[in-house]
Amino acid sequence: MRSLYHVVIIVSSALVACQPLRPQVSLEPGVSLKSYHLVAVGPVQDRSGYPFHYPIGDTLHVRLKDALQQDGVPLVSTSSDTAAPILFVVSSLDRFKNGALNVALPSSLGTSECVFSSRLLDGHSGRRLGEIVSSEIIDPEDTQRITPQQLLTTCARLTADELERRLK
């Protein structure tokens, strides 16, 4: 019986390790995003310190917009002139670590990690509404192979999916 228990624990741990973490959401007291039917995606800053060879902020900006569009979230430009409530999303890549992301690399290189945070603001007043922090961690023991681009896309996708859930 004891060995069956250990097998269940090991299998459960393996399944959990392969699944992305649910984003952490903190909203200001009394705030609901349900009245916001339009979203404006602002700039994405790179605060990770990782030596990307291209403007990662621009890339993540596009990936977040694409993910929101795929979820059916109506997007507007940041300069839209409308009386409707607009949720303004300003994001940053706070942490990025490239461990063993390449199939050709040995898994002993370490954990890969992405932390992507988005500040939620009222588009008209600029009032802070809350924040979403999405993170993905890939341990070297995981059999899942993922490229740096896939890891970054996952973080943007997690944020978009959580926003879509909160807007409904």
Domain ranges of the chain: 2-167
Question: Over the chain, what is the mean pLDDT?
Answer: 83
For position 11, what pLDDT does the model report? 37
Give residues with Cβ within 8 angstroms of 150, minimum separation 6: none
Instruction: Tell whether the model's pLDDT for residue 8 goes beyond 70.
Output: no
Instruction: Tell whether the model's pLDDT for residue 168 goes beyond 90.
Output: no
Mean pLDDT, rounded, for 153-158: 95
pLDDT greater at residue 82 or residue 126: 126
Nearest alpha carbon to residue 162 among 3, 15, 20: 20
Mean pLDDT, rounded, for 62-68: 97
What gap in Å lies between CA 59 and CA 133, rounded to an integer? 18
Give residues with Cβ within 8 angstroms of 54, minimum separation 6: none
* pLDDT tier for residue 105 given thresholds of 50, 70 and 90: very low
pLDDT greater at residue 121 or residue 108: 121
**What is the percentage of the chain residues whose pLDDT exceeds 90?**
61
For position 109, what pLDDT does the model report? 60
pLDDT greater at residue 28 or residue 4: 28
Instruction: Tell whether the model's pLDDT for residue 18 goes beyond 50.
Output: no
Domain 2-167 part of CATH 3.30.160:
yes
Sole residue written with tokens 């059999």: 143
Give residues with Cβ within 8 angstroms of 35, minimum separation 6: 85
Sole residue written with tokens 């800053």: 45
For position 144, what pLDDT does the model report? 61
For position 100, what pLDDT does the model report? 55
pTM of the full structure: 0.80
* pLDDT tier for residue 142 given thresholds of 50, 70 and 90: low
Instruction: Tell whether the model's pLDDT for residue 83 goes beyond 90.
Output: no
